[in-house]
Structures are given as structure tokens and as C-alpha cells.
Structure 1
């Protein structure tokens, strides 16, 4: 075998370090329907199924774990996981994580309120004195996180947050638009809850992996194959099945507080 071919082969096997050792790539994520979730023990979701297809095309086996988000971050930091699905890009994590050039999906963070206690708003200043339901392990925008106008109250799950909203224990909750709409149907509370149209932030979701030996090539190959798959009819069908194209009327009625604000599904510290 020519020397250049030997070097290329060695580079490929180094890139796929876990596979080369006969191990599966360990990916962690939090249930985040409709992007990624489990139903009757079967993993589903737009981003999960997209990622699974891309890895299959690359010939890489994956071991999946569904855990609370703070646990996912802890496992990344301690090396118990090779990567995380549906993580937002953060400059402070560039030293430890690699991100493909192509995102898996785009999210829009909005707030929901109970119809019996409506709190429509268009600015954060309008939330003065209210209690906002949040999720542990999520780092929100500086404006939202540092504001003293309102109180932030975490709940262990997204379902618990909606339960608190229905019972009047919080005034609003913040989550992704599609996640919230999915839960309104899942919990059968659509007639009790309203989505406020103001967009708190836009953000891209990625598959990110730890900066181990050769993983930069894996990220490049994943990004290239993901971009290729997203151009195919199969991806369009998958997107439509999971409602990845928000209603154009609803989008036209939406406003954004500030395009510079971000809501990060990350936290710099563990637990």
C-alpha cells in the first residue's frame, strides 16, 4: 500500500477513535420533544432520527443515554460521554467541545401563560413582579438571567413546569416554541395555556463532541453528511412529520425582543 494511502487510513481510524477501539460513540441528551425523546422505550424526534441516519451513513455505532440536562453536561465534563445532542454553541465551551459547521435545527424561545391568569407582554420590563418557570441546567441570556424585575423558578422537568403553570404556582414559563406546542397536546392542556408571540431568542442546536484525538475529522464528516441529507426529500418528510415548519401566520404575528439575546441550553458548571 502506498505511503499516502497508509497515512490516510491511519488518520481515518484515529478520527473514529471510539469505533477503532471497538466501542460505540457515547452520546447523551435530554428528552426535548419533538427534537429528541423516547416513546415506549423507542428513541424518536427530528434531531435524533436525523443524527442516527447520518451516523449510520458514516458507519459509526452510537450508544444513546437520555438524562437530565445537568447530568449530560456533567458527563461531558468528566469524559463519561463523547458528545451531546441538541446543545447550543457557546464560546466558553469551544475549548472542550467541537461543533459541526451545520446545525441540526433552529429553535425559538418563547413564554407561555395560563388563560385564567393571562400575562401577554412584548418586553422583559412588562414581567415585573412575576415568577417565570425555568429549567435546571439551562443558562439563559444575560438580560433574562440577571434581571431583578422578576423571579426565576426552576422545575425538574418541562412537564412539571407546565403543571405549575396550570396550577398557578408560576406566572409564565420559558421554553422552545415547538417543545411547548408539543407538550400542550401531550398533556392535553391546549385549552388552558396560551403561547405569547414575543420571541425571547433564536438559537441553533448541534451535535457536539469532546475534543479527543481525531474528533475534528469526525465533526467535519458529520457536518458534511448532515448538510447533504438535509437537501434530500427524506429530510423534508422527516421535518414535516415533526412540525419543523412553524405556522406562517403565527410567525408573522411574532415579534422578537432582541436578536442579540440568546438562551443557551448549557451551563458552565456541573450539578
Structure 2
């Protein structure tokens, strides 16, 4: 065998080793849909919000990279369900979704309350008390199941908006009386998206509509969905054990994720 042939074979062998090394080093990119729900997730916040950062760090600790695509919530869920993306954050548990998605361990807990103008005479003790009010709802949201059943059955007067800011605008224009929203999200939106002092015109009822845990959903159409959920859960468990999870939520409450303008 001549020298030229030896060199050719050696070069081919070296290139194959290099290619194998690159393949081994390449990280699986987890593609997730996301939406606007500050202070938890938002393109306008540092790191896309505290929960986006938690998801990235949990996956990174297991060797995965995460890329988010922001879109309206309804489309975010449907696109992930169809397998166009690997999964989606940040969703409450609903039994009907389990045929399309695998749920992670819970990432966060939230409390939904009813927001209303201070001069609106609003009170409730049970769901029958709600029938005399008109509600501003946000497309793609899933509220308390009993509440949603009443909405579907047209027992509760309501109007839908594409996002929570628009829902609050309907309330300020007196088109609706009450807006249900996560307590932290609601006050964050009122203080950051409206003129100074507007938030003082609004209050929230002490009785919660619901308390929800929220999750990462991985589409069952993705071949390695179970593997990805298990990896994420391991990473999340490590963050919780180290105190990193609570530390990030505390930083969010202190305003550390707000972009300076």
C-alpha cells in the first residue's frame, strides 16, 4: 500500500473520530412554546421570566439546551399538542390533556382571585353568588373547573379578550365587572402596564377562586418525551433541594427580573 493511500485512510479515520466527538458533544435542544404571563414568563423580562429560567437551568443540569417560542396561549398549547414543538410551559393540570401530554413535577403554585374596581360592589361566598356579575376572561386560560362549567353553560355573563391586559381594559371601561387572575400576575400587570396610580383603583377579593400548581407539558408525539420529562424532574429536584428554586422566586418578587428601560 503506497504512502498516499495510507495518508488518505488516516485522514478519513481522523475525520470520522472528529465527527463522532462533535455528535457526542451536541446537546439535545428542547423546543418549548411559551406565552405572556408576567412575572412568571414574559419576553419583556430578564431571562424570559423566572419560570423560563428555572426550566432552562433544570434541563441544563441534565445536559439539555432549551429554546422558547412565544405565542398566544391557545396556539401555544395546540402547537405543542400537534407535535410542532416538544412541549409547552406553564400549565395547570387538566385530566383531558393527559392523552396528549406528559406532565412534569409541579414547578410553581399560584392562587387565582377576583379583581374588581374598588367602587364595584362585589362579594361572593359560593358560585351561585357569581351569576349577577359580568366576567372578563382571557382566551387560552383554564380557570376553576366549576367556574368554567358555568361559563360553558352560559350561567355566567362574560366576554373574552386575547390577553390579560385587554381583560383589565374591559374592566376599566365598565364592560365587565370582574377579572379572575393569579394574584401576583394581576398586581404585576396593573402596576407595570397601566398609568401610575391605576393599580390603586383596583382590589382583589380575599376568597380565592382556586389554587393551582403549574407544570411543564411534553407532547406525547415526541419520541423521547418520557426521557425529557424524567431529566427535567431530576434537574428540578436538585434546584429545590439546593434552595435555588425558592431563591429565584424570591428574586422575582423583589423585581430582579424587570428590565430597566
Q: How high is the TM-score relative to the length of structure 1?
A: 0.76
Q: Which stretches in structure 1 are left out of the alignment for 5+ residues?
A: 1-18, 245-271
Superposed CA RMSD: 2.2
Runs of 4+ in structure 1 over 3 Å off:
19-23, 139-142
Structure ranking higher in helix proportion: 2
Q: What secondary structure, in the 3-state scheme, does the structure 1 residue paired with 2:216 have?
A: strand
Structure 1 residue 54: deviation in Å? 1.1
For residues 213-243 of structure 1, the C-alpha deviation after alignment (integer angstroms, 9 at most, x for no partner) is 2321221121121011012233332111223
Residues 27 and 65, structure 2, Cα contact 8 Å, conserved in 1? no
Q: How many residues align?
A: 224
Q: Which stretches in structure 2 are left out of the alignment for 5+ residues?
A: 1-23, 255-261
> Is residue 72 of structure 2 the alignment partner of residue 68 of structure 1?
yes
* Partner in structure 2 of residue 176 of structure 1: 182
Structure 1 residue 179: deviation in Å? 0.7
Q: What secondary structure, in the 3-state scheme, does the structure 2 residue paired with 1:38 have?
A: coil
For residues 65-110 of structure 1, the C-alpha deviation after alignment (integer angstroms, 9 at most, x for no partner) is 111111112201222111001112222222221112x211011111
Structure label with greater radius of gyration: 2
Within 2, Cα distance between the matches of 1:153 and 1:20?
Answer: 51
Within 1, Cα distance between the matches of 2:160 and 2:61?
Answer: 39
Residues 93 and 214, structure 2, Cα contact 8 Å, conserved in 1? yes
Within 2, Cα distance between the matches of 1:128 and 1:107?
Answer: 25
Q: What secondary structure, in the 3-state scheme, does the structure 2 residue paired with 1:139 have?
A: coil
Q: What secondary structure, in the 3-state scheme, does the structure 2 residue paired with 1:199 have?
A: coil
1:79 aligned residue (78, 83, 100): 83
Within 1, Cα distance between the matches of 2:240 and 2:72?
Answer: 28
Residues 33 and 87, structure 2, Cα contact 8 Å, conserved in 1? yes
* Partner in structure 1 of residue 29 of structure 2: 24
> Is residue 116 of structure 2 the alignment partner of residue 113 of structure 1?
yes
> Is residue 147 of structure 2 the alignment partner of residue 141 of structure 1?
no
Residues 40 and 52, structure 2, Cα contact 8 Å, conserved in 1? yes
